[in-house]
């Protein structure tokens, strides 16, 4: 369990670090979110390379999404995504009812305004992972009440 805790603490410290530097304001805030997302992207690329070493080749896009929801999520957060929905036109919604990186923060609406920065890295992880598997996407997250969380993946057709 130590590695898991380590990741969580490191993740929080990372956010703290990023948020301590630089000024304030709407654009600065956006830049920091982007920075976290970019970090996640690179980490996701590396991780997926490692996680998919043993898996058979993916059949299609949905197959890839299932992998993200099951294997990828389990490796990262010790649980699977609770619900995956799609419109079959390139939009996938991944719902995690108890997202590991939020579960320490609150159980409800307290600190809700801080949720985006705790999700940016993970959005990047998913986007990086998918990009490495050849799926270009935009990943956004949405929280109504912590620790539940929805990730929306919008596939960008080339």
Partner 1 sequence: MAGSQWELPPELCCRPMAFVALTGLDVTYNAVHRAIWDAFCANRRADRVPISFKVLPGDHEYPKCRTKRTSYEWYIPKGILKTGWMNKHLNLVPALVVLFYELDWDDPQWKEKQSECATKVEIVRTSLQGRNTKVAVVLIQKKTPLPPGEDLVASERASSLCNACDLSGKSLFVLPHTDHLVGYIIRLENAFYEHAQTYYYTEIRRVKSHKEFLNKTTHQLLFVRHQFKIAFFSELKQDTQNALKYYRTAYSLVHELRAHETNMLEIKTMAGFINYKICRLCFQHNTPLDAIAQFRKHIDLCKKKIGSAELAFEHTAWMSKQFQSFGELFDEAIKLGLTAIQTQNPGFYYQQAACYSQDRKLMAQQLCQAGAICPAPDPLDTPTRGLEFYGQRPWRQGHQSIDPPDAEKERTGILALQIKERDVPHSELIIALLSNAVAQFKKYKCPRMKSHLMVQMGEEYYHAKDYTKALKLLDYVMCDYRTERWWGLLTAILTTAVRCAYLMANIKDYMTYCMELLGRASTLKEEQKSRIEKNLFNVLKNEVPDPEPECEPSGASAAAALWKDCMALSGPEFSIEVQDYVPFIQCKARFLAPSFHVDQLIRLQVLLRVDCPHPVSFNKLSVSLSNQVYNQWCVLESSGQDKICLSPGETSCFSFNFVAKTQDVGKKIEMTGIELMLGSGRWVFLSWRGAGGDAASAHEALQASRLSRPRGHGTEAWQEGDWDSLTIQHSTMIISRIPKISVQLSHQPPALNNEMYCITLTVQSQEEGVARDVRLTAGLKPGQDANLSQATHVTLNGAQVCDASDPALLPDIPLGDLNPGDKVERCVYVRCVSTGPRVFLFHVAYSINTSVDGQEINCNCHKDETVTIETVEPFDVSAKFVSTKFEPLERVVVDVPFVLMTDLLSSSPWPLLLHSSSLQLVTMTTCVPQPQSQLEQVVLQTGECASECFCLQCPPNADGNGTVATGQYVISWKRESSSPDTPLVNTTVPLPHILLENVPLYIHAELPSFGRVRETLPVRYHIENRTALVQEVEMAVEPSDAFMFSGLKQVRLHILPGAEQQMLYNYYPLMAGYQSLPQLNISLPRCPATHTHTLRRFLPQRIFVKPQGRQLDDAFIAAA
Partner 2 sequence: MAVCIAVIAKENYPLYIRSVPMQNELKFHYTVHTSLDVVEEKISAAGKAMADQRELYLGLLYPTEDYKVYGYVTNSKVKFVIVVDSSNTSLRDNEIRSMFRKLHNSFTDVMCNPFYNPGDPVQSKAFDSMVSGMMVQAS
Task: Answer yes or no whether residue 56 interacts with partner 2 by CB under 8 A.
Answer: yes
Residue from 8, 12, 38, 106 touching partner 1 (CB under 8 A): that is 38
- The answer to the question of residue 136 lying near partner 1 (CB under 8 A) is no
- Nearest residue to 58 via CA among 44, 68, 50: 68
137 binds partner 2 (CB under 8 A): no
Q: Which is nearer to partner 1, 43 or 112 (CB)?
A: 43
Task: State the minimum distance, in angstroms, from the CB of residue 97 to partner 2.
Answer: 28
**135 or 146: whose CB is closer to partner 2?**
135
């Amino acid at each position: 369990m130590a590695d898991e805790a380590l990741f969580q603490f490191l993740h929080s410290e990372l956010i703290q670090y990023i948020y301590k530097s630089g000024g304030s304001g709407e654009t600065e805030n956006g830049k920091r979110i982007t920075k976290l997302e970019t970090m996640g992207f690179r980490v996701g690329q590396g991780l997926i390379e490692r996680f998919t070493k043993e898996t058979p080749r993916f059949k299609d896009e949905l197959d890839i999404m299932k992998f993200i929801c099951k294997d990828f999520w389990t490796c990262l957060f010790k649980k699977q995504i609770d619900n995956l929905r799609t419109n079959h036109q390139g939009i996938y919604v991944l719902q995690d009812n108890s997202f590991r990186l939020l579960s320490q923060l609150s159980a409800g609406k307290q600190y809700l305004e801080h949720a985006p920065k705790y999700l940016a890295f993970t959005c990047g992880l998913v986007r990086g992972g998918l990009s490495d598997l050849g799926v270009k996407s935009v990943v956004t997250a949405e929280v109504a009440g912590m620790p539940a969380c929805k990730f929306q993946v919008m596939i960008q057709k080339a």
